[in-house]
Amino acid sequence: MLLYISYTDIRTHRIPDIAILALAFAYLCENLGYDYSVNTHLVDLSRNHMFPLFYNVSQRLFFLYIKTQPLLSCLATSVIFIALKCVFDHVRKTTTFGWGDIKLAAVLSLWIPLADLPFFYMGIGFAGLITGLCFHGQRGIEKEIPCAPSISSAFLLIHLIHHG
């Protein structure tokens, strides 16, 4: 799917919404039945714990954090990319990257833990620099450099490092 999105962005400078929805659906299918339970030795502590009410609250907060972490990653990426788009568009007086790029980065960040988001952003920047150098000087590409290949390659690199 990422190859299709990158190819389409290179050819048409557009990212189809149906492809973004397909990635979001793939994330939901992959994580719909995921078991968020902790190790059994942590659960056994609740039986003999001195403060079971505090333990239950802290355990529920931990589960809430684990379940909402992908949404926090997606929200953080959306806010950062929208802010960057607004600032760059205002400074350069031209479009820097499109809404499809923002949606792609936000959906892909669902798979990336919060701790790895800065590396994802740095990877996008580095891959964008390489992409810009590759497309520099090509006819019709001087002002519009596709961002989907950069976002996709940074995601694949982070995902490969994180999951081996």
pLDDT bracket for residue 95 (50, 70, 90): confident
The pLDDT tens digits for 39-90 are 444 444 445 445 455 556 666 666 666 678 888 999 999 999 999 999 988 9
- List, in order, residues 6 or more apart from 29 with CB less than 8 Å away: none
Q: What is the pTM of this model?
A: 0.79
Whether 96 has a pLDDT exceeding 90, the answer reads no
Q: For the chain, what are the domain ranges? A: 2-11+51-163
Exposed e or buried b per residue across 18-57, where buried means at least 16 C-beta atoms within 10 angstroms of its C-beta: ebbeebbeebeeeeeeeeeeeeeeeeeeeeeeeeeeeeee
Asked if residue 37 has pLDDT above 80, the reply is no
**What digits encode the pLDDT tens for the residues 118-149?**
999 999 999 999 988 887 766 555 567 889 99
As a whole number of angstroms, the distance between CA 109 and CA 73 comes to 6
Q: Give dist(CA 163, CA 19) in Å, integer.
A: 23
* Number of neighbours of residue 153 by Cβ within 10 angstroms: 19
Residue 38 has what pLDDT?
46
